[in-house]
Homo-oligomer: A and B are copies of this chain.
Amino acid sequence: MEEPHGKSGSGLFSKEFLPEFVYGGIDGAITTFAVVAGATGANLDIPVVIILGFANLIADGFSMSVGNFFSTKASHDTYERHKATEHWEIENLRETEVEEIREIYRKKGFEGALLEQVVQVITSNKEVWVDTMMKEELEMAKDQTSAYQTAGMTFISFLLIGFIPLVAYVFALIFKTSTENLFIYSCILTGVAMCIIGTLKSIVNNKNMLQGIAETLFLGGVAAVLSYYVGAVLEGLFR
């Protein structure tokens, strides 16, 4: 029987990478929008907004994905290092480790001769023994994700969603349309993007959709307001 929460799917566009798409996208939209808001608060020209927006998009998207890569790799390495330590301990501190298995199974409710038989079976196979120590003593689960794939998905999503707050500015520059209300258009576009990504977030977390949207809008809104006022206040100081 299939469990409702079984691990499913593979490939870059399966549900497996939806969390990376969501968190990369949220961060991309929020940081780019914050740059646009800060620059607007400081009354900067449109070309400057676009320059800084793109510089931020590329640099921050790169730094976030590579940071994500190192962090996933570090979590894999930590797991393997602990596993190697357990192997070493089984070889060199055998009695201590046997006692630890006994203690783990005593806590599960085993006792007497049955406990000894269980300890005997577990400690007769090194892989099972180490696996038990990892799960029961260290409470560590192996991180199954690929560092390359999560980092790649984060980068794609960061660029794709992070470009949205800049769309209105780029459009106005290319087609030489009116530059009035550009910030308003950017707010609306970014708001729509955040509603979509908030919906995806609620799917990822299996939560209420309105809550996902509200959380994301709140987060982006506060970041943008902070950025706008820091820009405006500092610009006032320098005048």
Give me the interface of A with B, judged by CB distance under 8 Å. 1, 3-5, 7, 23, 26-27, 30-31, 34-35, 37-39, 41-42, 44, 47-48, 50-52, 54-56, 58-60, 62-64, 66-67, 70-71, 74, 77-78, 81-82, 85, 89, 93, 96, 108-110, 114, 117-118, 121-122, 124-125, 128, 132, 135-142, 144, 204-207, 215, 219-220, 222-224, 226-228, 230-231, 234-235, 238
Q: Are A34 and B60 in contact (CB under 8 A)?
A: yes
Q: Are B58 and A230 in contact (CB under 8 A)?
A: yes
Q: Are B96 and A231 in contact (CB under 8 A)?
A: no
The number of times this chain is found in the oligomer is 2
Q: Are A52 and B60 in contact (CB under 8 A)?
A: no
Select which of B71, B77, B141 is within 8 A of A141 by beta carbon: B141
Q: Which 6 A-B pairs have the closest CB atoms?
A: A38-B55, A34-B59, A59-B227, A141-B141, A47-B238, A30-B63
Q: Are A142 and B142 in contact (CB under 8 A)?
A: no
